[in-house]
Structure 1
Amino acid sequence: MSTLTLPDVGTQAPDFSALNQKGETVTLADYAGKVLVLYFYPKAMTPGCTTQACGLRDSKEELAQYNAVAVGVSPDKPARLQKFIDRDNLNFDLLSDEETTMCQAYGIWGLKKFMGKEYMGVNRITFIIGEDGSILHVMPKVKTKTHHDDVIAFLAERAKG
């Protein structure tokens, strides 16, 4: 397996401009003043990705207590992202990265293995980006069932100072 090169904690998050589920352009600057939970996932409406998204959906109020919002990123087309939102009542934006520009900027596009086959794809990694656009935390090994709890635990610890 190739090693991914992720941005370091304390550095500025790579800037981005991507279409959300409604086809609207969203940029990193749109989240200035908020803590951004930017999570990358392989494919909308698959079991693991659904579990992860629903956990964040159900944690929206808890995230808000820490001035945080979740945003998901995948290589899916905006129309598929809208179907995912509609199907699972998701209450946050999903960004389309069809050209994998964001995935590459964040270092999460890399070699993966599934059932003995190797291919290039999205590694399930989360970045927690501070109000000023700097990376506060990187979660390279995300468990879909506990992802939201792990994010909130980090935010709670940070709030204690």
Structure 2
Amino acid sequence: MKAFIQSIILALFLLSCSRPAKLKVGDAAPNFSGKDQDGKTVTLSSFKGKKVILYFYPKDNTPGCTKEACNLRDNYDLLQKEGYTVLGVSADDEASHKTFKRLHALPFTLIADVDKSIHEKYGTWVEKERDGKKLMGTSRITFIIDERGNISEIINDVTPGAHTEQIRKAF
């Protein structure tokens, strides 16, 4: 019995060590490297000294994600005037991002995270349930990152059609 309990404790400890700690306001935003819709490398560190809106969305050209991207597009000038750079991240590939950007005239960079490494760093690749089945997918979350590279706000309950308004309230 003692060995069984020790095994359970060890398993729980190892499981807790394998997951990154959940990010919170004030934390340093994890650096990342990914390819944009044109195959160019994008790193968060290249935006040091700038304010960044890093938004994670599930899938290109789906109703909610299109609504969210178009809301950011329609308010892009306003976000830029307030000093923000917008970066979108999903698990779609570069070609999908290129088409999505072109179809909806998106003025900001989309980062392909096919290997989910950026999602893992930000805790946005999560287990979901759909039609009674468990699956892994992107959690729609936005991180606002300040000029020092720290997370100044996290928006967990994103409203796709009013996302810019949510972001501006967080400023």
TM over 0.5: yes
Q: Select the residue among 53, 65, 71 that pairs with 1:49.
A: 65
The equivalences for 1:21-40 within 5 A come to: 21-40=37-56
Please, what TM-score do these two structures have when normalized by structure 1? 0.91
Q: Select the residue among 58, 62, 74 that pairs with 2:74.
A: 58
1-structure distance, mates of 2:73, 2:105: 8
Please, what TM-score do these two structures have when normalized by structure 2? 0.86
- The AA in structure 2 aligned to 1:82 is K
Identity %: 39
User: What is the match of residue 106 of structure 1?
Assistant: 122
Distance 1:94 1:100, change over 3 A: same
Q: Secondary structure at the match of 1:145?
A: helix
Q: Secondary structure at the match of 1:146?
A: helix
Q: Is the 8 A contact 1:34 1:67 kept in 2?
A: yes
Distance 1:67 1:84, change over 3 A: same
Q: Which runs of 5+ in 2 are unaligned?
A: 1-19
- The AA in structure 2 aligned to 1:76 is D
Task: State the Cα distance separating 1:39 from its structure 2 match.
Answer: 0.4
Q: Structure 1 residue runs of 4+, over 6 Å off?
A: none
- The AA in structure 1 aligned to 2:159 is K
Alignment of 1:12 onto 2:28? yes
Which whole-Å deviations, capped at 9, do the CAs of 1:87-125 have from their partners, x for residues lacking one? 000000000000000000001111111222210111000
1-structure distance, mates of 2:74, 2:128: 29
2-structure distance, mates of 1:145, 1:58: 11
2-structure distance, mates of 1:92, 1:109: 22
Distance 1:5 1:43, change over 3 A: farther
Q: Secondary structure at the match of 1:111?
A: strand
Distance 1:5 1:108, change over 3 A: farther
Alignment of 1:69 onto 2:85? yes
Which whole-Å deviations, capped at 9, do the CAs of 1:36-79 have from their partners, x for residues lacking one? 00000011111100000000011111101220011100001101
2-structure distance, mates of 1:36, 1:114: 32
- The AA in structure 2 aligned to 1:94 is L
Q: Which runs of 5+ in 1 are unaligned?
A: 156-161
1-structure distance, mates of 2:159, 2:49: 28
Q: How many residues get paired?
A: 152
Q: Secondary structure at the match of 2:79?
A: helix
Task: State the Cα distance separating 1:33 from its structure 2 match.
Answer: 1.9
Q: Is the 8 A contact 1:5 1:108 kept in 2?
A: no
